[in-house]
Amino acid sequence: MKISVAFVFFILIFSCAPTLKTTGRNDIPNGITYKDADSATNAKAFNKLNSALADSSSTISWFDGGMGCMPFLWKQLSSNPYFADAGGAEMTIMVPFGGEVRTFKGKSFRRKADLDSLQSFLVQTIRNDAPYVIRKPSPRELNLYWAFISFDIEEPVFVIESRSHLFLVDFYKDHILQIDDYYGVSLR
């Protein structure tokens, strides 16, 4: 049986490329307000993430004007002198848990130079930790995110999963509003 080189190439390209995985929206945990977006809006956000990750010469910007770096990612970044000195306000997030209130710190990034550096850092981190997949958040990830925000979860929202990262990215319009890294996170 002869298999054409073009067919093999086509199979290799599409089996290695990241794919948009949906978990089905019937898996939204009780108590979470989750608003679906149309498929075109989700595809645009997915393509924005994927294009910057797949093409090292991409000039696509994930951020515009400001972005919240949520507590678990901020804990990783705050030891980096560049990010520790980045402009923007510190965020204090209080989360009720098991009869007590836990306090977490995050950071809002506002300056374009800081946002560009953060994107470069994240893109390089994800590429170095390949393979990666861009997918919808799991019920566990939605529960975790919901505990840290004071607003409805509105699509587009994705997780970029690599070998040692679970970056949850929440979009507002066509740019990332907030990002966190849930790899290895447990509130227990």
Residue 36 lies in a domain: yes
Structural domain that includes position 160: 20-64+111-181
Determine if the pTM surpasses 0.85.
no
Q: Determine, yes or no, domain membership for 70.
A: no
Is-contact 154 35, C-beta < 8 A?
yes
Position 150 confidence tier, pLDDT thresholds 50, 70, 90: confident
Burial class (CB in 10 A: 0-12, 13-18, 19+), 184: exposed
Report yes or no on 37 lying in a domain: yes
The pLDDT of residue 3: 41
Question: Is 11 within a domain?
Answer: no
Lowest mean pLDDT among 7-11, 99-103, 174-178: 7-11
Count of domains for the chain: 1
Residue 89 lies in a domain: no
- Is 56 inside any structural domain? yes
> pLDDT by residue (tens digit) across 163-183?
999 999 999 999 999 999 999
91 located within any domain: no
